A and B are shown apart, each in its own frame.
Chain A
Amino acid sequence: MLIIQSLVSGLLTGGVYALAGIGMSLVFGVMNVSNFAHGDLMMLGMYLAYFAFTLLHIDPYLSLVLILPVSFLFGFLLEKLFVSRVIHHPHQNQILLTVGLGLIMSNSALLAFTSDPRILTTTYSSSSVMIFSDVSVSVPLLLSFLVTCAITALLYLFLARTRTGMALRATSQNREAAQLMGIDVSKMSAITFGIGTGLAAAAGALIAPVYYIHPMAGHNFLLKAFTVCVLGGLGSVPGATLGGLIIGVVEAFSATWISTDWKDVVVFMLFLAVLLFRPQGLFGKRGGE
């Protein structure tokens, strides 16, 4: 039963990783930018959920209704003000710009909220439900997973059915050709960065009830999100979805059978193994690497 227990909790956490990974992969696909501020955007989402809960008394899962539009706007502005200026620069400059933005975010959070870790405790934080008679599932993780599924489904619908979604995919496939077809690619970049930021913040908010909230939490998530993206294939949304679930399960299994201290090492080893044996990832296009 231990194996099913690990599998279930791994899949549930993996859903949140997938959400973070999808945001990053979308930005990479449309803008060809590796967003090193992604983890810190997740951290901001955690604090937003925390303050919505403690100050406004809004349930962390309901607060997404506020967090998603606010963070979309924040990301949209970040792109317009900063990232758009380096979109034609060498990728090193893009990485450094987002590193700088991330440092500003994490250290502003450090100044504003101090380095004391905070815990978001809801009434159902430590409750769990039993499935298959002897597998317990934590309620906050289950709720996170369900909300993640809903957001992912909405995103797929948006990308597949709306004009803007199709324009985004076209830009992702070929920026120049999309521009020639009359798509406003710079607007698409801003929208994409907004969505990416929204998804990062949502992932942060969703994981906030089961994680320590502190200003440097982003570092760890950044690497996880990268692992998810590379595993799925940089730029691929379905790849990132599957990649997130795989990383969640790998992490849960190594925590159970190796040790909690080494679970991140196993994840990063997997990352290097992907680069070694299948650098284009599960769903990536060949040649880009």
Chain B
Amino acid sequence: MKKILIPISLLLLALFLPELVGRNPYFTGIMINVLMMASLASAWNIPGGYAGQFSFGHAAYFGAGAYTTLILLSGNPIDPLLALLAGVVTASLIALITGSIVFRLRGHYFALASIAVAEIVRLSVLNLQFTGGAQGILLSDLTFHGIDLNSKIPFYYGMLMILVLSMGTTAYIQSSRMGYYLQAIREDQDAAASLGINVALYKNRALLVSAALSSVTGSLYGLYIRFIDPGAVLDLRLSIEIILTAIIGGVGTIWGPVLGAILLVPLAELLRSNVIGDTLISMGIVSDVSPVGHFFKEGLAHAHVLVYGVITVVCILFMPQGVLGITRRRK
């Protein structure tokens, strides 16, 4: 009973959260980002956390979804849902190609090949004509069954739906035979193979599910932002942020990626929006004109990734199981 009660109350809280903040667009925007990173990290967690196959190129699947959907919708009056499904097809194709090349090999190689594939996708989008190149793609008008898409609220609920879908898929896989197979592969690939598990097949399945979920997230993000370029949706930095979110929360768990997103996204927002620097300056702790004040005001906003780096190193050295891992050990 208790096991069901907490998720249900959290879901109820999430459902009413936009009303609790009075539909404030700024907070709604941050919450959409939290949900998005949570669902991307959950999707990454299926091959990454359960099967131990660390993908460093998940931006490719996210970007494939966003790009396919926006390319199809710009100029064509088709149903956004169809465009979203087309994104899933593209991302699945990329996942199948990647998987069939490297899943016969061990972990090191998958990590390297996933970056290579993601870079090929990014450079192709950058250099091709129909993808808009470095300028990206702008979607001017969008209609969907009479819903007002100029508000952020529909996208909040859309992202929430995708997160629930990602977590549900993770929970289903975890409790199924496949979940045990994946964990066996993570712990010892050779032992798993010798017990008759088709290692390459299950790694491929995990990556495929993950790519599809990431692509849906990407499509919805594209519809929400309506402007995408290779730097925003296909960059290696996004792939690394996805991994960090999962790692900091705790890999190989259902709630870890969500916890990671709840911790990291607001932190990044705090750093980016200069709240820390402005507070310190207005409290008179550091002077506006001093080098330290200048650093907080100008430098830190550009360096939230630096903080990510520090967090990663600390996390790997002192709590490789993530925040959830620590609370578990205490129990």
Contact = CB atoms under 8 A, between A and B. Distances in A.
Contacts of B115: 223, 226
Given A103-B306, A275-B109, A264 B313 contact: no
Given A103-B308, A275-B101, 4 more contacts: A91-B107, A100-B311, A107-B303, A223-B119
A259 B312 CA distance: 38
B123 A262 contact: yes
Contacts of B107: 90-92
Interface in A82-108: 82, 85-86, 89-93, 95-97, 99-104, 107-108
B108 interface: yes
B108 A34 contact: yes
B23 interface: no
Given A103-B306, A111-B303, A275-B102, A86 B108 contact: no
Contact of A104 (B117, B124, B310): B310
A288 B56 CA distance: 21
A265 B320 CA distance: 34
Interface of A: 34, 82, 85-86, 89-93, 95-97, 99-104, 107-108, 110-111, 115, 219, 223, 226-227, 230, 234, 259, 261-262, 264-265, 268-269, 271-272, 275-276, 279, 288-289
Given A268-B116, A268-B120, A275-B113, A289 B105 contact: yes
Identify the interface centre among B116, B117, B305: most chain A CB within 10 Å of its CB: B116
Contacts of B310: 100, 104
Nearest to B320: A93
A223 B116 contact: yes
A275 B105 CA distance: 8
Nearest to B112: A226
Contacts of B119: 223, 264-265, 268
Contacts of A95: 54, 56, 111
A165 B112 CA distance: 28
Contacts of B52: 90, 92
Per CB-CB distance, the 6 closest pairs between chain A and chain B, nearest first, are: A103-B309, A100-B312, A107-B306, A104-B309, A100-B313, A268-B116
A51 B300 CA distance: 24
A265 B120 contact: yes
Interface in B87-112: 101-102, 104-109, 111-112
B313 A97 contact: yes
Interface string B297-328: 00100110110111111011100100000000
B243 interface: yes
Identify the interface centre among A99, A101, A268, A288: most chain B CB within 10 Å of its CB: A99
Given A34-B111, A96-B243, A103 B312 contact: yes
**Interface band, chain B:** 35 or more
B24 interface: no
Identify the interface centre among A96, A227, A276, A289: most chain B CB within 10 Å of its CB: A96
A219 B53 CA distance: 21
A148 B107 CA distance: 32
Contacts of B313: 82, 97, 100-101, 104
Contacts of A97: 312-313, 316-317
A289 B127 CA distance: 33
A96 B246 CA distance: 12
B240 A103 contact: yes
Contacts of B240: 99, 103
A103 B311 CA distance: 10
A272 to B, nearest CB: 6
Nearest to A103: B309
A107 B305 contact: yes
A221 to B, nearest CB: 12
Contacts of A234: 108
Contact of B320 (A89, A102, A227): A89
Nearest to A263: B123
Contacts of B102: 275
Interface string B45-59: 000000010101000
Contacts of B127: 259, 261-262, 265
Given A102-B309, A279-B105, A264 B123 contact: yes
